[in-house]
Amino acid sequence: MLPIIDRAGVWALHKLDAETAHNLAITALKWGVAGSRPFADDEILSSRIWGRAFRNPIGLAAGFDKNCAALRGLTSLGFGFIEVGTVTPRPQPGNPKPRLFRLDEDRAVINRLGFNNDGLSAFVSRLSARIRDGGVVVGANVGANKDSPDRIRDYAEGARAVAPHADYIVVNVSSPNTPGLRSLQTLDSLTRIFDGVREARHEAGAEGVPVVLKLAPDLDQDELRAICEFAVDRSVEGIVATNTTIERPAGLASRHRSEAGGLSGAPLFERSTEVLTEIYRRTGGAIPIIGVGGIASARDAYRKIRAGASLVQIYSALIFHGPGIVSEISRDLARLLREDGFTRLDQAVGIDA
């Protein structure tokens, strides 16, 4: 494998518009001509969650490989787990371009892609062909079509199709780029979605596959409290905290800062970590949380873990630092854990909450 997307590769990709650069990176990963030299995982980073073995807690966040097109290449980068999707039942083109913006000065990204994807049937044919070598856990993130007459049913349809092939399923009700989608974060809608998804999982003969809820960072205290109660009452198996934000924190310097869409990267870190801490406290640590939002170093990952995350994910940092960041975070995280006297990752989870 040629490590062509190293620091020089990142520099070259930044000469292109953001979406072209992304498509090129996916193509390179698909054909196995991009990669980094993965760090041999340190035993201290391994854990068991939902009965699955994670060799390290660093995952790829949803939206990078929406079509499950580059799993093999991504696996070689050293991730402990990879979340593919969001996939919708039918293919859809997403929003008009341009719809993806790098905010270089802010180490941030704004996207309003709008679930552009090839649809469930193409996605599942690729997901089902993956080689389950036990090395990397793969989650499938499902959503609803923009023009769907029944969005609640879309989630069940997605779950039924992916359940036999995925290690976990994510219900994504938190993308800001499909109008009205985030209003599914109410108790009534969540109840109907989870009833449908769990029934679909049963019909697919995949009872053991956990269903995880991905939340927005823009929920207020009352909404968050209600959702946490729902999650505990209904034994929701996991929470991803968080998706991108529609807020624009003060101090953004990039000329793209006023573009519509979801903001990710460094300016999301504090808010998403606050939400994560709140969820950990309110659920009493009973539900595994995947912490995501603005992680760009082992210190950031460690803060999420200490705030209550059992696992973490990255997306925007890959755009700015290239794939070498995955091994770098793993290596430095192992060191940080040892420096603080931990012998296992799970001992640090929630220690600051």
Give the active site residues: 175
The reply to whether 309 sits near ligand FMN by the rule CB under 6 A is no
State the amino acid at position 193 in one-letter form: I
Q: Which is nearer to ligand FMN, 213 or 345 (CB)?
A: 213
Residue 257 as a binder of ligand FMN (CB under 6 A): the answer is: no
DSSP annotation of 166: -
Using CB under 6 A, which of the segments 44-52, 218-226, 286-294, 322-330 binds ligand FMN? 286-294
Q: Which of 68, 279, 295, 345 binds ligand FMN (CB under 6 A)?
A: 295
What is the smallest separation between the CB atom of 341 and ligand FMN, expressed in angstroms?
28
88 contributes a contact to ligand FMN by CB under 6 A: no
Q: Which is nearer to ligand FMN, 177 or 283 (CB)?
A: 177
113 binds ligand FMN (CB under 6 A): yes
What is the number of alpha carbons within 13 Å of residue 215 lying toward its C-beta?
A: 31
Query: From the list 109, 171, 231, 287, which residue makes contact with ligand FMN (rule: CB under 6 A)?
Result: 109
- Which of 47, 88, 316, 327 forms a contact with ligand FMN (CB under 6 A)? 316
CA distance 178 to 353: 33
Which range of residues in 59-67, 89-97, 152-160, 200-208 is near ligand FMN by CB under 6 A?
59-67
What 3-state class would DSSP assign to 347?
A: helix
The single-letter DSSP state of residue 117 is: B
Answer yes or no whether residue 244 interacts with ligand FMN by CB under 6 A. Answer: yes
Q: Which residue is nearest to ligand FMN (CB)?
A: 63
What is the secondary structure of 207-276 as a DSSP string?
A: TTS-EEEEE-TT--HHHHHHHHHHHHHTT--EEEE---BS---TT--STTTT-SSEEEEGGGHHHHHHHH
Q: How far is CA 148 from CA 2, 75, 135, 154, in A?
A: 42, 33, 36, 8
In the list 28, 49, 124, 268, the residue contacting ligand FMN (rule: CB under 6 A) is: 268
> Tokens for 193?
């979605």
CA 150 – CA 341 distance, rounded (Å): 51
How far apart, in whole angstroms, are the C-alpha atoms of residue 274 and residue 338? 25
Which lies closer to ligand FMN via its Cβ, residue 36 or residue 264? 264
- Of 36-44, 55-63, 88-96, 121-129, the segment contacting ligand FMN by CB under 6 A is 55-63
CA dist 77 and 311 (Å) reads 17
Q: Pick the stretch among 56-64, 69-77, 161-169, 179-187 that binds ligand FMN (CB under 6 A).
A: 56-64
Using CA atoms, how far residue 288 sits from 49, 57, 310, in Å, is: 8, 12, 6
Residue 197 as a binder of ligand FMN (CB under 6 A): the answer is: no
Number of residues interacting with ligand FMN: please give it, by CB under 6 A.
26
Instruction: Choose which of 139, 315, 329, 333 interacts with ligand FMN (CB under 6 A).
Output: 315
CA distance 146 to 179: 8
Interface stretch with ligand FMN, choices 57-65, 152-160, 189-197, 249-257 (CB under 6 A):
57-65
- Which of 67, 264, 277, 330 forms a contact with ligand FMN (CB under 6 A)? 264
Q: Restricting to residues 114-153, which ones interact with ligand FMN according to CB under 6 A?
A: 141
Interface with ligand FMN (CB under 6 A), residue from 57, 89, 196, 293: 293
Closest CA to 227 of 270, 180, 194, 272: 194
- Shortest gap between Cβ of 66 and ligand FMN (angstroms)? 5
CB 301 within 8 A of CB 45: no
Do 267 and 295 contact (CB within 8 A), yes or no?
no
Q: Which residues bind ligand FMN (CB under 6 A)?
A: 61-63, 66, 86, 100, 109, 111, 113, 141, 172, 175, 214, 243-244, 264-265, 268, 292-295, 314-317
